Amino acid sequence: MAHTARGRDDKNEYFDPPEELEKKVDILAALVKKSKHFIVFTGAGISTSTGIPDFRSGMDTKLETGPGKWELQAHSKPRSAAHKTTTTLKAIPSPTHMLLVKLHQEGILKYVISQNTDGLHRRSGIPKSAIWELHGNNNMERCKKCGHEYLRDFKCSRSKMKHLTGRNCDNPKCGGTLRDTIINFGESLPDDELEGSFEQAALADLCVAFGSSLTVTPAADIPEEVGKRKKNPGNLVIVNLQTTPLDGVASLRIFAKCDDVSEMLAKKLSVEIPSFHLHRLAEVYRLIAIQ
Protein backbone atom coordinates (compact mmCIF):
# COMPACT_ATOMS: atom_id res chain seq x y z
CA MET A 1 0.00 0.00 0.00
CA ALA A 2 2.98 2.29 -0.58
CA HIS A 3 0.90 4.48 -2.91
CA THR A 4 -1.13 5.68 0.08
CA ALA A 5 1.84 7.49 1.65
CA ARG A 6 1.15 11.22 1.90
CA GLY A 7 2.84 14.14 0.12
CA ARG A 8 5.80 15.92 1.68
CA ASP A 9 3.86 18.91 3.06
CA ASP A 10 1.07 16.69 4.42
CA LYS A 11 3.61 14.79 6.56
CA ASN A 12 4.96 17.83 8.39
CA GLU A 13 4.29 17.69 12.13
CA TYR A 14 3.28 20.70 14.17
CA PHE A 15 3.22 21.27 17.95
CA ASP A 16 1.21 24.04 19.58
CA PRO A 17 3.31 26.12 22.02
CA PRO A 18 2.49 25.32 25.69
CA GLU A 19 0.48 28.49 26.35
CA GLU A 20 -1.54 28.12 23.15
CA LEU A 21 -2.15 24.44 23.87
CA GLU A 22 -3.40 25.32 27.35
CA LYS A 23 -5.90 27.80 25.91
CA LYS A 24 -7.09 25.34 23.27
CA VAL A 25 -7.69 22.57 25.82
CA ASP A 26 -9.62 25.10 27.94
CA ILE A 27 -11.90 25.63 24.95
CA LEU A 28 -12.18 21.87 24.41
CA ALA A 29 -13.12 21.32 28.06
CA ALA A 30 -15.82 23.98 27.80
CA LEU A 31 -17.22 22.31 24.68
CA VAL A 32 -17.29 18.93 26.41
CA LYS A 33 -19.03 20.36 29.47
CA LYS A 34 -21.84 21.97 27.48
CA SER A 35 -22.30 19.13 24.97
CA LYS A 36 -25.46 17.06 24.94
CA HIS A 37 -24.25 14.36 22.56
CA PHE A 38 -20.46 14.05 22.51
CA ILE A 39 -18.82 11.48 20.21
CA VAL A 40 -15.20 10.64 19.44
CA PHE A 41 -13.67 9.55 16.12
CA THR A 42 -10.30 7.79 16.39
CA GLY A 43 -7.47 6.87 14.05
CA ALA A 44 -4.09 5.18 14.32
CA GLY A 45 -2.56 8.16 16.13
CA ILE A 46 -4.42 7.29 19.32
CA SER A 47 -2.40 4.06 19.58
CA THR A 48 1.14 5.14 18.71
CA SER A 49 1.95 5.81 22.38
CA THR A 50 1.14 2.14 23.07
CA GLY A 51 3.88 1.09 20.64
CA ILE A 52 1.71 0.41 17.58
CA PRO A 53 3.09 2.30 14.54
CA ASP A 54 0.69 4.32 12.43
CA PHE A 55 0.50 4.33 8.64
CA ARG A 56 1.32 7.83 7.39
CA SER A 57 3.87 9.49 9.69
CA GLY A 58 6.88 10.80 7.74
CA MET A 59 10.46 9.61 7.82
CA ASP A 60 11.40 12.46 10.20
CA THR A 61 8.50 11.94 12.60
CA LYS A 62 8.92 12.79 16.28
CA LEU A 63 6.95 9.70 17.30
CA GLU A 64 8.91 7.01 19.14
CA THR A 65 7.30 4.36 16.94
CA GLY A 66 9.01 5.87 13.91
CA PRO A 67 7.69 6.38 10.37
CA GLY A 68 4.33 5.03 9.31
CA LYS A 69 4.03 1.60 7.75
CA TRP A 70 3.24 2.92 4.28
CA GLU A 71 5.93 5.59 4.51
CA LEU A 72 8.57 2.90 5.09
CA GLN A 73 7.18 0.89 2.20
CA ALA A 74 7.29 3.95 -0.06
CA HIS A 75 11.00 4.38 0.76
CA SER A 76 11.76 0.63 0.75
CA LYS A 77 13.15 0.95 4.25
CA PRO A 78 12.94 -1.50 7.17
CA ARG A 79 11.81 -0.32 10.60
CA SER A 80 14.78 0.62 12.78
CA ALA A 81 15.43 -1.35 15.94
CA ALA A 82 15.70 2.01 17.71
CA HIS A 83 11.99 2.61 17.28
CA LYS A 84 9.87 1.59 20.25
CA THR A 85 7.18 -0.71 18.90
CA THR A 86 5.13 -3.69 20.01
CA THR A 87 2.42 -5.93 18.61
CA THR A 88 -1.29 -5.20 18.88
CA LEU A 89 -1.66 -8.20 21.21
CA LYS A 90 0.95 -6.91 23.67
CA ALA A 91 -0.07 -3.24 23.54
CA ILE A 92 -1.66 -1.69 26.64
CA PRO A 93 -4.43 0.90 26.12
CA SER A 94 -3.15 4.47 26.29
CA PRO A 95 -4.23 7.26 28.64
CA THR A 96 -6.46 8.51 25.82
CA HIS A 97 -8.15 5.11 25.51
CA MET A 98 -8.72 5.04 29.26
CA LEU A 99 -10.00 8.62 29.44
CA LEU A 100 -12.65 7.71 26.87
CA VAL A 101 -13.68 4.77 29.07
CA LYS A 102 -14.03 7.07 32.06
CA LEU A 103 -15.99 9.71 30.14
CA HIS A 104 -18.36 7.04 28.86
CA GLN A 105 -18.84 5.62 32.35
CA GLU A 106 -19.67 9.13 33.58
CA GLY A 107 -22.28 9.55 30.82
CA ILE A 108 -20.31 12.37 29.16
CA LEU A 109 -19.13 10.48 26.06
CA LYS A 110 -21.95 8.85 24.14
CA TYR A 111 -20.16 6.94 21.39
CA VAL A 112 -16.78 6.02 19.92
CA ILE A 113 -16.33 5.58 16.17
CA SER A 114 -12.97 4.05 15.31
CA GLN A 115 -10.98 3.31 12.17
CA ASN A 116 -8.58 1.15 14.18
CA THR A 117 -8.39 -2.63 14.02
CA ASP A 118 -6.05 -3.05 17.01
CA GLY A 119 -8.89 -3.88 19.42
CA LEU A 120 -7.63 -1.49 22.12
CA HIS A 121 -10.95 0.31 22.56
CA ARG A 122 -12.76 -2.91 23.42
CA ARG A 123 -9.82 -4.11 25.53
CA SER A 124 -9.82 -0.83 27.46
CA GLY A 125 -13.43 -1.28 28.50
CA ILE A 126 -15.57 0.50 25.92
CA PRO A 127 -18.67 -1.74 25.62
CA LYS A 128 -19.91 -3.06 22.30
CA SER A 129 -23.03 -0.91 22.70
CA ALA A 130 -20.94 2.29 22.58
CA ILE A 131 -18.58 1.72 19.66
CA TRP A 132 -18.59 1.26 15.93
CA GLU A 133 -15.36 -0.30 14.64
CA LEU A 134 -15.53 0.72 10.99
CA HIS A 135 -12.62 -1.38 9.76
CA GLY A 136 -13.16 -4.34 12.06
CA ASN A 137 -11.23 -5.77 14.99
CA ASN A 138 -8.23 -8.07 14.71
CA ASN A 139 -9.44 -10.02 17.74
CA MET A 140 -13.06 -10.40 16.68
CA GLU A 141 -14.65 -13.16 14.64
CA ARG A 142 -18.32 -13.49 13.77
CA CYS A 143 -20.52 -16.42 12.85
CA LYS A 144 -21.68 -16.09 9.25
CA LYS A 145 -24.90 -17.95 10.05
CA CYS A 146 -26.20 -16.63 13.38
CA GLY A 147 -24.10 -13.47 13.75
CA HIS A 148 -22.70 -14.31 17.21
CA GLU A 149 -19.40 -12.56 17.91
CA TYR A 150 -16.32 -13.98 19.62
CA LEU A 151 -13.79 -11.57 21.12
CA ARG A 152 -10.47 -13.43 21.31
CA ASP A 153 -7.07 -12.78 22.84
CA PHE A 154 -5.39 -13.67 19.54
CA LYS A 155 -5.56 -12.44 15.95
CA CYS A 156 -8.43 -14.07 14.12
CA SER A 157 -7.58 -13.31 10.50
CA ARG A 158 -5.78 -15.72 8.21
CA SER A 159 -4.50 -14.00 5.08
CA LYS A 160 -5.10 -16.91 2.71
CA MET A 161 -8.49 -17.91 4.07
CA LYS A 162 -10.63 -15.14 2.49
CA HIS A 163 -11.88 -14.03 5.92
CA LEU A 164 -12.62 -17.60 7.11
CA THR A 165 -10.83 -18.28 10.40
CA GLY A 166 -11.04 -22.08 10.29
CA ARG A 167 -13.29 -22.22 13.35
CA ASN A 168 -17.00 -22.79 13.81
CA CYS A 169 -19.73 -21.37 16.02
CA ASP A 170 -19.89 -22.95 19.47
CA ASN A 171 -23.68 -23.08 19.43
CA PRO A 172 -24.56 -26.73 18.74
CA LYS A 173 -27.77 -25.59 17.05
CA CYS A 174 -25.79 -23.44 14.64
CA GLY A 175 -22.24 -24.61 13.94
CA GLY A 176 -21.80 -21.94 11.28
CA THR A 177 -18.42 -20.91 9.92
CA LEU A 178 -16.61 -18.05 11.66
CA ARG A 179 -15.20 -15.11 9.72
CA ASP A 180 -12.82 -12.36 10.79
CA THR A 181 -14.21 -8.82 10.88
CA ILE A 182 -11.32 -7.00 9.17
CA ILE A 183 -12.18 -4.73 6.25
CA ASN A 184 -9.32 -4.79 3.75
CA PHE A 185 -8.59 -2.02 1.26
CA GLY A 186 -10.95 -2.23 -1.66
CA GLU A 187 -13.71 -3.77 0.46
CA SER A 188 -16.85 -1.87 1.41
CA LEU A 189 -17.47 -0.90 5.01
CA PRO A 190 -20.24 -2.95 6.66
CA ASP A 191 -23.66 -1.34 6.39
CA ASP A 192 -24.55 -1.54 10.09
CA GLU A 193 -21.32 0.15 11.23
CA LEU A 194 -21.46 2.83 8.55
CA GLU A 195 -25.14 3.66 9.02
CA GLY A 196 -24.81 3.61 12.80
CA SER A 197 -21.83 5.96 12.65
CA PHE A 198 -23.68 8.49 10.50
CA GLU A 199 -26.63 8.29 12.89
CA GLN A 200 -24.29 9.22 15.73
CA ALA A 201 -22.84 12.08 13.67
CA ALA A 202 -26.34 13.39 13.04
CA LEU A 203 -27.01 13.43 16.80
CA ALA A 204 -23.65 14.86 17.83
CA ASP A 205 -23.17 18.47 18.87
CA LEU A 206 -19.49 17.71 19.49
CA CYS A 207 -17.12 15.34 17.70
CA VAL A 208 -13.45 15.10 18.68
CA ALA A 209 -11.23 13.39 16.10
CA PHE A 210 -8.17 11.92 17.81
CA GLY A 211 -5.14 10.85 15.78
CA SER A 212 -6.66 10.53 12.33
CA SER A 213 -5.39 11.91 9.02
CA LEU A 214 -9.07 12.11 7.99
CA THR A 215 -8.16 11.13 4.43
CA VAL A 216 -9.88 7.75 4.13
CA THR A 217 -13.47 7.91 2.97
CA PRO A 218 -16.25 7.15 3.62
CA ALA A 219 -14.97 7.02 7.23
CA ALA A 220 -13.75 10.65 7.15
CA ASP A 221 -17.19 11.76 5.95
CA ILE A 222 -18.51 11.01 9.45
CA PRO A 223 -16.68 13.76 11.39
CA GLU A 224 -17.11 16.03 8.38
CA GLU A 225 -20.88 15.60 8.78
CA VAL A 226 -20.61 17.20 12.23
CA GLY A 227 -18.31 20.03 11.12
CA LYS A 228 -20.22 21.02 7.97
CA ARG A 229 -23.79 20.59 9.20
CA LYS A 230 -25.86 23.71 8.54
CA LYS A 231 -28.97 22.79 10.52
CA ASN A 232 -28.26 22.35 14.24
CA PRO A 233 -24.52 22.87 13.62
CA GLY A 234 -22.05 20.88 15.68
CA ASN A 235 -18.44 21.42 16.71
CA LEU A 236 -15.64 19.37 15.18
CA VAL A 237 -12.35 19.33 17.13
CA ILE A 238 -9.31 17.74 15.49
CA VAL A 239 -6.32 16.54 17.54
CA ASN A 240 -3.50 15.50 15.22
CA LEU A 241 0.14 16.43 14.59
CA GLN A 242 -0.33 16.69 10.83
CA THR A 243 -2.78 18.84 8.90
CA THR A 244 -5.95 17.17 7.61
CA PRO A 245 -8.39 17.85 4.76
CA LEU A 246 -11.06 18.76 7.35
CA ASP A 247 -9.10 21.48 9.16
CA GLY A 248 -11.18 24.10 7.37
CA VAL A 249 -14.45 22.86 8.87
CA ALA A 250 -13.10 22.33 12.39
CA SER A 251 -14.21 24.63 15.21
CA LEU A 252 -10.92 23.93 17.01
CA ARG A 253 -7.64 22.58 15.66
CA ILE A 254 -5.14 21.18 18.19
CA PHE A 255 -1.61 20.22 17.15
CA ALA A 256 -0.40 17.94 19.95
CA LYS A 257 -0.08 14.29 20.89
CA CYS A 258 -3.35 12.64 21.87
CA ASP A 259 -2.19 11.62 25.35
CA ASP A 260 -0.92 15.13 26.15
CA VAL A 261 -4.32 16.57 25.29
CA SER A 262 -6.19 13.82 27.14
CA GLU A 263 -4.22 14.25 30.35
CA MET A 264 -4.78 18.01 30.28
CA LEU A 265 -8.46 17.57 29.48
CA ALA A 266 -8.95 15.12 32.34
CA LYS A 267 -7.63 17.67 34.84
CA LYS A 268 -9.87 20.42 33.47
CA LEU A 269 -12.89 18.12 33.68
CA SER A 270 -11.88 16.99 37.20
CA VAL A 271 -11.89 13.34 36.23
CA GLU A 272 -9.20 10.77 36.94
CA ILE A 273 -7.89 8.64 34.11
CA PRO A 274 -8.26 5.04 35.33
CA SER A 275 -5.47 2.51 35.15
CA PHE A 276 -5.89 -0.37 32.73
CA HIS A 277 -6.70 -3.75 34.25
CA LEU A 278 -6.97 -6.82 32.08
CA HIS A 279 -10.24 -8.70 32.52
CA ARG A 280 -10.79 -12.12 31.05
CA LEU A 281 -14.12 -13.85 30.60
CA ALA A 282 -13.98 -17.47 31.63
CA GLU A 283 -16.71 -20.01 31.04
CA VAL A 284 -16.82 -22.63 33.76
CA TYR A 285 -18.43 -25.98 33.12
CA ARG A 286 -19.41 -28.31 35.97
CA LEU A 287 -18.88 -31.96 35.26
CA ILE A 288 -21.41 -34.24 36.90
CA ALA A 289 -20.19 -37.73 37.58
CA ILE A 290 -22.61 -40.48 36.57
CA GLN A 291 -22.79 -43.13 39.28
- Computed from CA positions of residues 27, 44, 49, 182, in that sequence, does the dihedral angle turn out positive or negative? positive
Using DSSP, how many helices (H) and how many strands (E) does the chain show?
A: 7, 10
135 noted as active-site residue? yes
Q: What are phi and psi of 254, to 5 degrees?
A: -115, 125
Long-range contacts of 277-280 (CB under 8 A, 24+ apart): 278/123, 279/125, 280/153
- Computed from CA positions of residues 80, 81, 84, 87, in that sequence, does the dihedral angle turn out positive or negative? positive
Sheet with 149-151: strands ordered across: 149-151, 140-143, 177-180, 164-168
- Check if the beta carbon of residue 180 is closer than 8 Å to that of residue 137: no
Per-residue exposure over 247-273, b if at least 16 CB sit within 10 Å of its own CB, e if not: eebbbbbbbbbbbbbbebbbeebeeeb
DSSP bridge partners of 253: 238
DSSP 127: -
Question: Which position among 104, 135, 148, 279 bears the catalytic label?
Answer: 135
Residues with Cβ < 8 Å from 213, sequence gap 6 or more?
6, 10, 43, 56, 240, 242, 244
Catalytic residue numbers read 135
